[in-house]
Structure 1
């Protein structure tokens, strides 16, 4: 769902993007998967206490991950910093001592119903790849650009096409990437519709059965070129 926050910030909870109402979709800031899930919970329950245990259960436990209060605090701090760039000193996420967090009642939350602009899905996917690469390399940015990426169809899942966007072509690599996409789809309960397309990117070390970084993207594509994508990151995937 797409929201407009405080009549100024457009938030797409499906792909985790934030942008000012006067910005283009391609200028949106992309949240990490976990940060997006936290914000989505808070926005949907605006004005209500969202307990720390609820966030731990819904975001980490269900994904089979372990977290801590310190990790949650860091994500909330990051979200506050991001919103300060859009809304200045307004208090957006309120801490309820020893209980949890609440999305401020003073920040209006409405469903955004304006007509979507036509935009290619590649900036969204490439933004995800860049974000993943920054995590891997630290200060080194991923060198590929939308024009250099050539998706290759490597199969179908539940009737929807699966494309590899690693740029590396090999039978072994394609088989591994397809298996990663299959597992990621199952773990995240992703569904296939007639407008769904899946993309997968995996570090080459995954073929050596070593921990690897993985990006799995589900996109909804329309014939009139509208699209929206959801990026899911795995930082320590082991076959």
Structure 2
């Protein structure tokens, strides 16, 4: 669902992105998985207390992950810093001591807004990311700063570049993701040819040897921005 925050910021609760109303979707800031889930809880209960226990239960324990008050506090701090970039110094997330948090009643939140349609040549941003966002959910196993979700080269396959589009910077994940891409391409008899690049978006729990959802895209990219992509989806990939 799309939410309009403070009359000027679009929050997409499906894929955890924030952008100003005059920005294009690929210019959005992508929150980390857990920060995204926390903000969604707060937005959906605008002006109402969301207890710390609720956040621990719904975000961490349901995934079988143990967390701590310190971890939650750090995510709240991260969200506040991110929101400040978009709405200024207003206190967006209010702390109720020893109880929980709520999204400020002084900041408007509107549901079901209609986003302006924006054309983009990059299927890897729109087709791949928008489709994947509806099926991806996962556990973020370490803290990182949110950033623009720009394709980042992590390796090569027979001379063709492999890019990560999950937004997670980790040498461990990069190594795992490159291996996944190569296995997926081998299984689907994909090759490296002129103007070809490969993209991967994977759940962060992939490198924990748990089932993860993975998208691998093979894109042929022409100088005039004509991109043709073939997407390969895996709903329960286990890396071993």
For 2:13, the equivalent position in structure 1 comes to: 13
Q: Secondary structure at the match of 1:7?
A: coil
For 1:182, the equivalent position in structure 2 comes to: none
Q: Using the TM superposition, give the Cα deviation of residue 87 of structure 1 relative to its aligned residue in structure 2, in angstroms.
A: 1.2
Q: Could you tell me which of 213, 216, 229 is aligned with 1:216?
A: 213
TM-score (structure 2 length as normaliser): 0.59
For 2:136, the equivalent position in structure 1 comes to: none
How many residue pairs match? The answer is 173
Provide closer, same or farther for how the CA distance between residues 166 and 52 of structure 1 changes in structure 2, counting only shifts above 3 A: same
For 2:52, the equivalent position in structure 1 comes to: 52
Counterpart CA distance in 2 for 1:4 and 1:82 is 16
User: Is the Cα contact below 8 Å between 1:17 and 1:30 reproduced in 2?
Assistant: yes
For 1:116, the equivalent position in structure 2 comes to: 117
For 1:169, the equivalent position in structure 2 comes to: 182
Q: Which runs of 5+ in 2 are unaligned?
A: 134-139, 145-150, 164-176, 189-199, 216-237
User: Is the Cα contact below 8 Å between 1:200 and 1:214 reproduced in 2?
Assistant: no
Counterpart CA distance in 2 for 1:18 and 1:2 is 10
User: Is the Cα contact below 8 Å between 1:16 and 1:36 reproduced in 2?
Assistant: yes
For 1:28, the equivalent position in structure 2 comes to: 28
Q: Secondary structure at the match of 2:18?
A: strand
Q: Using the TM superposition, give the Cα deviation of residue 46 of structure 1 relative to its aligned residue in structure 2, in angstroms.
A: 0.3
Q: Using the TM superposition, give the Cα deviation of residue 58 of structure 1 relative to its aligned residue in structure 2, in angstroms.
A: 0.5
Q: Secondary structure at the match of 1:143?
A: strand
Q: Using the TM superposition, give the Cα deviation of residue 214 of structure 1 relative to its aligned residue in structure 2, in angstroms.
A: 9.1
User: Is the Cα contact below 8 Å between 2:153 and 2:161 reproduced in 1?
Assistant: no
TM-score (structure 1 length as normaliser): 0.59
Q: Using the TM superposition, give the Cα deviation of residue 143 of structure 1 relative to its aligned residue in structure 2, in angstroms.
A: 2.0
Q: Secondary structure at the match of 2:153?
A: coil
Counterpart CA distance in 1 for 2:39 and 2:14 is 11
Greater CA drift, 104-113 or 93-102: 104-113
User: Is the Cα contact below 8 Å between 1:9 and 1:18 reproduced in 2?
Assistant: yes
Query: 1:182-231, CA deviations, whole angstroms, 9 ceiling, x for partnerless residues?
Result: xxxxxxxxxxxxxxxxx65489xx8xxx846997357xxxxxxxxxxxxx
1:73-92 to 2 correspondences below 5 Å? 73-92=73-92
Q: Using the TM superposition, give the Cα deviation of residue 83 of structure 1 relative to its aligned residue in structure 2, in angstroms.
A: 0.8
Q: Secondary structure at the match of 2:114?
A: coil
1:89-168 to 2 correspondences below 5 Å? 89-111=89-111, 112-119=113-120, 120-123=122-125, 142-143=152-153, 148-149=161-162, 166=178, 168=181
Q: Which runs of 5+ in 1 are unaligned?
A: 136-140, 151-164, 176-198, 219-236
Q: Using the TM superposition, give the Cα deviation of residue 88 of structure 1 relative to its aligned residue in structure 2, in angstroms.
A: 1.2
Query: 1:47-81, CA deviations, whole angstroms, 9 ceiling, x for partnerless residues?
Result: 10000000000000111111000000000000000
1:57-76 to 2 correspondences below 5 Å? 57-76=57-76
Q: Using the TM superposition, give the Cα deviation of residue 121 of structure 1 relative to its aligned residue in structure 2, in angstroms.
A: 4.5
Q: Using the TM superposition, give the Cα deviation of residue 21 of structure 1 relative to its aligned residue in structure 2, in angstroms.
A: 1.1
Q: Secondary structure at the match of 1:123?
A: coil
